[in-house]
Amino acid sequence: MPELPEVETVKRTLIKEVKDKKILSAQIYWDNIIAYPSIKEFENQIKNQIIHDIKRRGKWLMFELDDYYLLSHLRMEGKYYIRKNTDPREKHQHVIFHFSDNTDLRYNDTRKFGKMYLLKKDEAFNEKPLNELGLEPWDKKLTKEYLKQKFHKKPIKTELLDQTIIVGIGNIYADEILFLSKINPKTIATNLKDKDLQNIIDFTRKVLEKAIEYGGTTVKSYESSEGVHGRFQQNLLVHTKEECPICHSKINKINVGGRGTYYCEKCQKER
């Protein structure tokens, strides 16, 4: 699943291809991808809208149009491709935006898990899904005190994946952040000390910044644009690894909150 660095990379890549383009129409081939509004309203409202910018909020892409934000969550397999509008539709292209320059922006999703919302710009931040999101990793409000207020009596790995606390952290980066912080993923979040909380904040920022620098992580099928893969997988320390890079002990793989979790039992002692 694309996490914050991958979505940020897609945003930066895609804006070069679509900025200032006018959407003449949209065709929906898989209705469930459109979460709001209705298919008919979506198709009518997006006509003749110009893409002025693409922003990011957590794992959501935000296409800034004249009157709306088009929100897009890539989920497991979502990708965007540019095509000529005369090119035949490919099997997994479920939403197609036709531009006035005779090109298309095509949303491709083999598993059909992606979601889109078309929200009025003056209401978007007060509506779902944006109003449910936590702080961005670089927000100055992300402090030890904030985490103390937000964390529950759950494993810290589970809490790092909670998008209502900190946005953008997924399974891969949670493992990396906890390894660098020397925190066992099973540790109950409310038991962490101030030093642990500060380490989580600091290493969250460092790991995500480095991942963005390398264009994200390609473990399975992620592409920032067609045929372009991330390179941060070459810098992973524990996720999918077999040996700890520090003590050379065997890396454990367990299940925490339903997610496969990699950690070093020696370097990340349970508390």
Respond yes or no: is residue 266 known to be catalytic. Answer: no
Rounded CA Rg of the chain: 20
Local structure of residue 251 (DSSP, 8 states): P
Give the pLDDT of residue 2: 81
Q: Flag whether pLDDT at 221 surpasses 80.
A: no
d(CA 226, CA 61): 17
d(CA 133, CA 142): 13
pTM, whole model, 2 decimals?
A: 0.91
Give the pLDDT of residue 76: 85
Q: In terms of pLDDT, which residue wins out, 137 or 226?
A: 137
Give the pLDDT of residue 216: 73
DSSP 62-100: EEE-SSEEEEEE-TTT-EEEEEETTSPPPTTEEEEEEET
Local structure of residue 135 (DSSP, 8 states): B
Residue identified by tokens 């994200």 is: 216
How remote is the C-alpha of 39 from its chain's centroid? Answer: 25
Choosing from 59, 79, 115, 157, which is the catalytic residue? 59
Respond yes or no: is residue 41 known to be catalytic. Answer: no
Classify 104 as helix, strand or coil: strand
Residue identified by tokens 């710009």 is: 121
Residue identified by tokens 């890396």 is: 251
Local structure of residue 55 (DSSP, 8 states): E
Q: Flag whether pLDDT at 229 surpasses 90.
A: no
| 68-114 pLDDT per residue, tens | 999 999 998 899 999 999 999 999 999 999 999 999 999 999 999 99
When pLDDT is averaged across residues 123-134 and rounded to a whole number, the result is 97
| Domain boundaries, given as residue ranges, for the chain | 4-132, 144-263
pLDDT confidence band for 187 (50 / 70 / 90): very high
Local structure of residue 150 (DSSP, 8 states): H
Respond yes or no: is residue 129 known to be catalytic. Answer: no
Give the pLDDT of residue 232: 66
When pLDDT is averaged across residues 253-265 and rounded to a whole number, the result is 97
Q: Flag whether pLDDT at 218 surpasses 60.
A: no
Count Cβ atoms below 10 Å from residue 167 Cβ, excluding itself.
Answer: 21
Give the pLDDT of residue 144: 98
Percentage of the chain modeled with pLDDT above 70: 93
How remote is the C-alpha of 70 from its chain's centroid? Answer: 16
Distances (CA, A) of 64 to 21, 49, 50: 11, 9, 8
Q: What is the CATH number of domain 4-132?
A: 3.20.190.10
When pLDDT is averaged across residues 27-33 and rounded to a whole number, the result is 98
- Residues 156, 145: contact at Cβ < 8 Å? no
Respond yes or no: is residue 245 known to be catalytic. Answer: no
Rounded-to-10 torsion of CA 125, 66, 18, 31: 70
4-132 and 144-263 agree in CATH topology = no
Query: CA angle, 115 as apex, 15 and 175 as ends, to 5°?
Result: 80
d(CA 41, CA 26): 11
Q: Flag whether pLDDT at 225 surpasses 70.
A: no
Cβ-count burial of 36 within 10 angstroms (0-12 exposed, 13-18 middle, 19+ buried)?
Answer: middle
Q: What is the CATH number of domain 144-263?
A: 1.10.8.50
